[in-house]
Chain A
Amino acid sequence: MKRRAVAPLVGIVLFFAAWEGFVRAFHVRKFVLRAPSGALSYLWRFRGDYLDAAWVTVQHSMIGLLLALAIAIVVGSVLASNRFVERATQPILVLVQVVPWLAYVSTVVLWLDSGDASALFMVTLVCLPAFVFATVDGMRNVESATLELMSSVDASRREVLYRVRLPSAAPTLFTTARFSVGLALAIAYYVEGVNLSNEGIGAIGRKAAADFNGVDRLWASVFSVAVIGISALLLLSILERTMLHWHAAQRTEPR
C-alpha cells in the first residue's frame, strides 16, 4: 500500500531531476528549454495569481465536463431506447467529435462573447459525444436475464432505466470521464486564451507565449494545468473506487 503511493512520487521526482540536470549540464539556451526550477520558483512567487486563475480554469473544465455528463445521461437514455432517434443523432455527434474544435472556436467566441459562456460551451460540446456513446453502450450492455426478470414483474421503463440501465452505464461513464479530463482542460485553456476575458490559466499562458521573456510564466501555467489534471484524475479514481467497488475492473490487483 505504501509502496503504491510512493512509486508515482519517485517517478515524478526523477523526471524533474533528469530535466533539470539535462538543462544545466548541456547549458540549453533559455528560450529553447528552461529548467523546471525556474518555472516552479516563478509559480511559487506568483502563487496567488496562479491560484485565482487556476480556480477559473477548474470551473471552466470541470463544470463543462459535468454538464456534458448530465446532458449525455439524458440524451443517452433517449437514444438507448430508440434506435431511430439514435441513428438520426449519431452523424451529428460524430461530426462534433471529429471536426477539430480549434477550427470553429473563434466563431463560438464571437457568438457568446468573452467570458465563461464560451469556455463552458466549448468544453461541454466537445466532451458530449463520447459521454453519449458511453451512456448508450453502457445502458445496452445489460444481461438479457436481468431485463427478462424486470419484465416478468412488469417493471416500467423508468424503473428499468434507473434501477438497471443507469448503474450498468456507470463503469463506461467513469472511463470516459478519465479520458475526457485532458480534453476538457485543453479546451478550457485554449478558449481562455482567445476569449479576451483575461481570466484563467489559459489567459496567462497565451500572453506569456507571445512574450519573449515569458518562458517561466508559460511553463508555470503548464504546470498549473498539469496539477489540475492530476488532481481531477485522483478525485475520479477515489470516486470510482467508492462507487464502483463492485465492478470487475476494480478488483484486479496489479501484480
Chain B
Amino acid sequence: MSHVTIHGLSKAFGDLEVLDDISLDIAAGSFVSFIGPSGCGKTTLVRVVAGLERASSGSVEVDGTAPEIARSRKRVALVPQQPGLLPWRTVRSNAHLLLDVNRAANPSDAANSNELLREVGLGDFMEAYPHELSGGMQQRVALVRALALHAPLLVMDEPFAALDEITRAEMRVLLNQLVEGRGVTVLFVTHNIAEAVALSDRVLVCSPRPARIVADVAIDLRRPRSRDIEDDPRFVELCAEVRHSLFGAMRP
C-alpha cells in the first residue's frame, strides 16, 4: 500500500527551479532517505510532502489526501534540523508540545511521551531544561516530540546534521530501534551516505538543482538492525553503490 504518492511534481521559487518533474511512490511503513548535494532541493521536496510548501505543478498525496489536509489532521510529524525546543519548557513538556497545540486534531491513540522519553534514555531528565542537555539529548527530545504524535508519517530533515560523529552514530542505532516495529513511514533527508544506508529500506539519490531522482537504491539489509550492521560487507557494497550514483549525478 502506498502512503505517499508524488506525480510530476515541480517546484520553483520565482525563476529558481528547485524540483523538476518528480514522481514517486512510497510504501507505507518504509524508511526512505533522500540524499543529494547541498541545495539540490531535497529539503523542499519533503517540505512539500509535509504540507509546508505548495507544489508549483504536479500532485502529491499523503494518506490519499492533499498534504495540507494531512497536516491539519496532524498526520505528519516533523523533526527539523535544529531541535527547536522551547527553552522555558522542561524536557517532559517539550516532548508533549505537538500534542498541546491544535488539540482538536489530536489522535485518540497518542503515544505516552513520558514512556517514550524513558525509552530513549531520558527518564532521568524529564524535569531538566533544554539548556541542561547535550546536543544529542536535545535531538532525542525532538524525536520523542515527533513520535508522541503517533502520526503515520515522519518527516526528518537532516536531524543529525548538527551532531558530532559519535553521537550521530548512536542516533542511527536509536532511530532504527524506535521506528522498527512501529510501522511509521519515514522520509529522511541527509548528506551522509552511511547514515542513509544504515537507516533506510530505500535510498533515493537526487541530482543537483533542480532535483530529479537519479537513482533508487533498495537497501536489502536485514532488520532489526543493530550497531554492527555497518560491519556487514553488504552495507559497504550498498554505500559504494549510493556513492557512485551520487557522484555520477554531480558530474556535469
What is A's interface to B at a CB cutoff of 8 Å?
Answer: 143, 145-146, 148-156, 159, 163-164, 167, 170, 244-248, 251
Q: Given A145-B84, A152-B76, A246 and B102 touching (CB < 8 A)?
A: no
* Interchain nearest-CB distance for A100 vs B (Å): 38
Give CA–CA (A149, B98) in the complex, Å: 8
Q: Tell me if B84 and A148 are in contact (CB < 8 A).
A: yes
Q: Tell me if B84 and A149 are in contact (CB < 8 A).
A: yes
Give CA–CA (A139, B54) in the complex, Å: 26
Residue of B nearest to A245 (CB): B129
Residue of B nearest to A145 (CB): B84
Q: What number of A-B contacts does a CB cutoff of 8 Å give?
A: 66
Task: Please tell me which one of the listed residues A163, A167, A244 contacts residue B101 in the complex, with CB atoms under 8 A apart.
Answer: A163
What is B's interface to A at a CB cutoff of 8 Å?
Answer: 50-52, 71-72, 74, 76-78, 80-84, 86-88, 97-98, 100-102, 105, 129-131, 149, 155
What residues of chain A lie closer than 8 Å to B84, measured between beta carbons? 143, 145-146, 148-149
* Interchain nearest-CB distance for A35 vs B (Å): 49
What residues of chain B lie closer than 8 Å to A143, measured between beta carbons? 82, 84
What residues of chain B lie closer than 8 Å to A244, measured between beta carbons? 88
Q: Tell me if B101 and A159 are in contact (CB < 8 A).
A: yes
Chain A to chain B contacts (Cβ below 8 Å), 12 pairs:
A145-B82, A145-B84, A146-B84, A149-B80, A149-B98, A153-B101, A159-B101, A163-B97, A246-B131, A247-B87, A247-B88, A248-B131
* Interchain nearest-CB distance for A150 vs B (Å): 6
Task: Please tell me which one of the listed residues A148, A163, A246 contacts residue B52 in the complex, with CB atoms under 8 A apart.
Answer: A148
Q: Given A148-B52, A248-B131, A153 and B98 touching (CB < 8 A)?
A: yes
Q: Tell me if B81 and A167 are in contact (CB < 8 A).
A: no
Q: Tell me if B80 and A154 are in contact (CB < 8 A).
A: no
Residue of B nearest to A152 (CB): B78
Give CA–CA (A236, B205) in the complex, Å: 56
What residues of chain A lie closer than 8 Å to B74, measured between beta carbons? 153-154
Q: Which one of A149, A156, A163, A246 has the highest number of Cβ atoms from chain B below 10 Å of its Cβ?
A: A149
Task: Please tell me which one of the listed residues B80, B86, B87, B105 contacts residue A153 in the complex, with CB atoms under 8 A apart.
Answer: B105
Q: Tell me if A148 and B78 are in contact (CB < 8 A).
A: yes
Given known contacts A143-B82, A148-B78, A152-B50, what 17 new A-B pairs fall within 8 Å (CB)?
Answer: A145-B80, A145-B81, A146-B84, A148-B52, A149-B84, A152-B155, A153-B101, A154-B71, A154-B74, A154-B102, A159-B102, A167-B86, A244-B88, A245-B129, A246-B129, A246-B130, A246-B131
